[in-house]
Structure 1
Amino acid sequence: MAAEIHRQCSIFSCCTLRFVIMGEATSGQKAIVVHFNTPGRTNAADVVFLHGRGGTERDTGALVAAFPDATLRGYRGPIREGGGFAWFTIRAIGVAHPESLAREIPKVAGWISADNGANKPWLCGFSNGAAMAASIALSAPSDYAGLIMIAGCFATDALPAERLDGMPVLFCQGRSNWVIPPAKFAQARSYLEHDSGADATILEYEGGHDVPVDLIASIARWHQARH
């Protein structure tokens, strides 16, 4: 059962904003998701956004301009973190507690699949959300159209060869990002470029652990060329 709230988005006049609270069958935890739908678009790409640690589903609004020809939905992480939420607990920056990651991947993937339309969704995430998006993509790569990682890394060292065979992946790293350990960025880039099998693009941008306007434009150009 889902409860929905519809309203015209006051910030983005081109979009209809829809909040949905969905019951999750196996864990009993509710999925809270915000949808940005562009009226009149048919057969649009479907993009799922996962916020960073301490964020919420409302952070999705900052990515609307990155996907002007797509429907966009953002979920609330299942774990409370500070004033917001997270996707899994960590041992250190960029390193998940394995038990937490293993528990949350099927839960969040289930939320996403329960809300899918006709097209395979693209996964996009920021920081902790990028790590979760990547983990979900690795868990079932054939279920997703592509992956966009912003200011994040892989949450585990278990990175199977050729697992993302042919998948379009955009990896975005700020040149002044000192939040994510350099070794974790290096691991992610090496895997994507050499071992994953992905059709990977590495994008360095002027910025740190953030999503500047110029990056939004670069993501838009990259995504529009691939769907």
Structure 2
Amino acid sequence: MSAAPTTFGAPVVATHGSDDPAAPLVVLLHGRGSNEQEIISLAPHLPGGVAYAAVRAPIAEGGGYAWFANRGIGRPVASSLEATMSWFRTWLDDVAPSGRPVVLVGFSGGAAFAGGLALADPARYAGAAVLHGTLPFDAGVPVEPSRLSHLPVFVAQGEADHVIPRELLDRTWRYLHTESGAPTVGRRDPGGHGITAATLHRLAGWVAERFLHLRATPAAPVGAPSGVRWPTLPGGALPDRVGPRPDVSWAIPQQQLSQHAPADLQEALFARVSALPGVTGADSLISVPGARAFVLPEGSGPDDAFLVPDAREFAHLHPGYDGSLHLALPAGQAADLVARGWGVPHPWAGTRLAAGFVMLFGPRTPDELETVVGVVTAAHAAASGG
């Protein structure tokens, strides 16, 4: 297949839903061998009050977003992808000027295109769904750690998918759930290369939750953080965590599965945080049985500084078999925490929960205990109104 042309005709677009030019917009991107009329059929099953636009791929060959080279899906031609993204952005910037939330939903080849758009300019979008497809790793788009911080992502795959190479599906899954920094909701179905009713139902919920969150709360800055200050840590900066990240469950409840903190360090951590000004202990109202909450009854911080605002629970320590914490941090500190290897976003951050809702890994050494206490102290400062 030759590279795509550098110019394309006007987009062919099918629409559904709200005709309010300010309504949130979901852009549906079809797969190879499909078209805009087929994928717009998903829209009646997605939330109301939203505008939907399905855009026909500009490359006739293959009938989809076909910027793939000889080996087929998963080997993008960089110049073709760049030209297609430029063509798409010209259309999008006209129909959705700055300030109108846009969520991308792509299936198969359209998933690679949606992922490429999000990676190229993550701050442009309010979310991205990658359905039964791969990110365009070989197309020249940036895939550095924390590239997608605070950009909610929904990823769905089929366990028996024989259309997309398994190594690319696994690489996409791993990057989105770990290195990307994106709060990622994942679904794995037993089927193959197709959207199941259960996945469509969960996608609809995720879209609704994202737009409801944006209606109530300004969007957190998206993208890799820089220059983040930590007044509660020596030198005002968070050091990089040593070694690989531990394994973390991708399903709810979110749990740390390896590199657990020793029991004595867990208890030392609990004692140190419990001694912070105004803190009281309680059973967590949002976590698994046995999780111990840190509550600040007189905390005057904003609701986003708490895991459970009504109860003023700003952090909790998971049971001994886990040893990690969940806590609420200001958005910049949350992104920096993930970028430096100390934690991962909660999958529901920015949808059902505050954008700064993160998992903090348990301390493996006394030195790490000091860092972890300093991070929790930052959450305490935010909850205190500092």
SS of 1:218's partner is helix
1:71 corresponds to: 51
Does the 8 Å CA contact 1:65/1:217 hold for their aligned counterparts? no
Give the counterpart of 1:183 among 167, 170, 179.
Answer: 167
The 1:200–1:145 alpha-carbon spacing in structure 2 relative to 1, beyond 3 Å, is: same
Give the alignment's TM-score, normalised by structure 2.
0.49
Between stretches 58-67 and 144-153, larger displacement belongs to 58-67
2:190 corresponds to: 206
1:80 corresponds to: 60
SS of 1:96's partner is coil
Distance 1:132 1:42 in 2: 24
Does the 8 Å CA contact 1:151/1:209 hold for their aligned counterparts? yes
Give the counterpart of 2:153 among 163, 166, 169.
Answer: 169
Residue 143 (str. 1) matches residue 124 (str. 2):
yes
SS of 1:119's partner is coil
1:51 alignment partner AA: H
SS of 2:60's partner is strand
Q: Which has the larger radius of gyration?
A: 2
Residue 115 (str. 1) matches residue 95 (str. 2):
yes
1:97 corresponds to: 77
Distance 1:208 1:182 in 2: 12
Identity across matched positions, percent = 30
2:202 corresponds to: 218
Unmatched runs of 5 consecutive residues or more in structure 1 = 1-25
Does the 8 Å CA contact 1:66/1:219 hold for their aligned counterparts? no
Give the alignment's TM-score, normalised by structure 1.
0.81
Does the 8 Å CA contact 2:64/2:109 hold for their aligned counterparts? no
* Structure 1 position 50, deviation (Å): 0.6
1:80 alignment partner AA: A
1:47 alignment partner AA: V
2:339 corresponds to: none
* Structure 1 position 42, deviation (Å): 9.0
2:179 corresponds to: 195
Does the 8 Å CA contact 1:54/1:86 hold for their aligned counterparts? no
RMSD of aligned Cα (Å): 2.0
Residue 61 (str. 1) matches residue 45 (str. 2):
no
* Structure 1 position 87, deviation (Å): 4.4
Distance 2:154 2:192 in 1: 17
Unmatched runs of 5 consecutive residues or more in structure 2 = 1-5, 212-386
Give the counterpart of 1:36 among 3, 12, 16.
Answer: 16
Residue 155 (str. 1) matches residue 136 (str. 2):
yes
SS of 2:64's partner is strand
1:128 alignment partner AA: G
The 1:120–1:90 alpha-carbon spacing in structure 2 relative to 1, beyond 3 Å, is: farther
Residue 130 (str. 1) matches residue 111 (str. 2):
yes
Does the 8 Å CA contact 1:148/1:169 hold for their aligned counterparts? yes
2:86 corresponds to: 106
SS of 1:180's partner is coil
The 1:66–1:44 alpha-carbon spacing in structure 2 relative to 1, beyond 3 Å, is: farther
* Structure 1 position 38, deviation (Å): 3.6
State how many pairs are aligned.
200
2:198 alignment partner AA: D
1:34 alignment partner AA: A
Distance 2:77 2:95 in 1: 27
Please give the per-residue CA displacement for 1:167-216, whole angstroms capped at 9, x wherever unaligned.
00000001211111110011111111111111111111232111222221
- Structure with greater helix percent: 2
The 1:89–1:95 alpha-carbon spacing in structure 2 relative to 1, beyond 3 Å, is: closer
Distance 2:65 2:8 in 1: 18
